[in-house]
């Protein structure tokens, strides 16, 4: 698997491990990450524009 390539401040993702993707995204300013156990429920509240990414691995 390859790592994340950054070109012109846009991220190009090609066949990367889920853990690498999650670690890269959650390390960015203004990004939060909540990990839950399998079969647990998570209530999400958003104030303002947002992109929600759900990773099931």
Report yes or no: 21 and 28 within 8 Å, Cβ to Cβ: no
Domain boundaries, the chain: 1-57
CB count within 10 Å of CB 22 equals 15
pLDDT of 6: 56
- pLDDT per residue of the chain (57 residues) written in tens, 0 to 9: 555 555 556 666 567 788 888 888 889 888 888 888 888 888 878 888 887 777 777
pLDDT at 21: 82
CA torsion sign for 45, 51, 56, 57 is: negative
Tokens of 29: 């300013």
Sign of CA dihedral 11, 17, 22, 24: negative
pLDDT at 7: 58
Query: Could you tell me if 4 and 13 are in contact, meaning their C-beta atoms sit under 8 angstroms apart?
Result: yes
pLDDT computed for residue 15 by the predictor: 74
pLDDT confidence of residue 9: 60
């Amino acid at each position: 698997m390859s790592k994340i390539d950054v070109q012109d401040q846009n991220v190009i993702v090609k066949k990367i491990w889920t853990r690498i993707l999650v670690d890269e995204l959650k390390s960015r300013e203004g990004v939060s990450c909540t990990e839950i156990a399998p079969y647990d429920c998570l209530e999400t509240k958003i104030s303002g524009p947002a992109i929600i990414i759900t990773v099931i691995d």
